[in-house]
Homo-oligomer: A and B are copies of this chain.
Amino acid sequence: MGPPVGGRQIARQGGGLSIDTPPWIDSVVDWQRPYVGDDDRVRLAISLARENVLRATGGPFGAAVFQAATGRLIAVGVNSVVRLQQSALHGEMLALMLAQRRLNSFTLGAHGGPGHELVSSCDPCAMCLGALLWSGVRRVVASASRDDAMDLGFDEGPVFPESYRYLEERGIEIVRGVLREEARAVLDLYRSRGGQIYGG
């Protein structure tokens, strides 16, 4: 126990952490309309990735959480590692966290509730793949591939074919490579602008 000062403990750890999307999000995202079909949903994730590069607020990755059946947009995320100085804040993590914040629930798969899916501009890394398993989403749609990200210099971590199988065996549907060329173009844009390759 730390020394009491004036009868109270000093909070040695310092304060907590506030997490949010960059301020430009609401000027580029249409929160009203339904997003119908994988292409429409993936295009939103890719446009978030592109805006994140153009506005210099982070890496070339975007993601969103939708109500699966209706296409209602619940939350979005963009890579925020450098902006918020947090290595865990990949686009997928931010989207999942803000979706749970919005629904005030640690699971997006509540029994009897509407099912949700995560859509990402790139194959999720090892951390994000684990996170979406705990999140309660029932479906994942990704665009650019693991190899595309690694070509750019980003590591994707220990993800193996059996990692995908592990999720599928627990009822999560995984769809990859949707509009891959469009997402890869954003990775190329990031490279052409000399974007930072952060990592452990």
CB within 8 Å of B: which residues of A? 1-3, 9-21, 25-32, 73, 75-76, 81-82, 84-88, 93, 96-98, 100-102, 104-107, 109, 125-131, 133-137, 155, 157-158, 160, 162-163, 166-167, 170, 198-200
B158 touches A129 (CB 8 A): yes
B26 touches A20 (CB 8 A): no
Known A29-B2, A166-B157; judge A85-B98 contact (CB<8 A).
no
Q: Given A9-B27, A17-B19, 14 more contacts at CB 8 Å? A: A2-B26, A13-B29, A13-B102, A14-B102, A16-B21, A85-B100, A85-B104, A86-B106, A87-B131, A88-B93, A126-B130, A129-B130, A134-B199, A158-B162
Q: What 8 pairs between A and B have smallest CB-CB spacing?
A: A16-B20, A127-B130, A12-B31, A126-B130, A158-B166, A158-B163, A87-B134, A9-B26
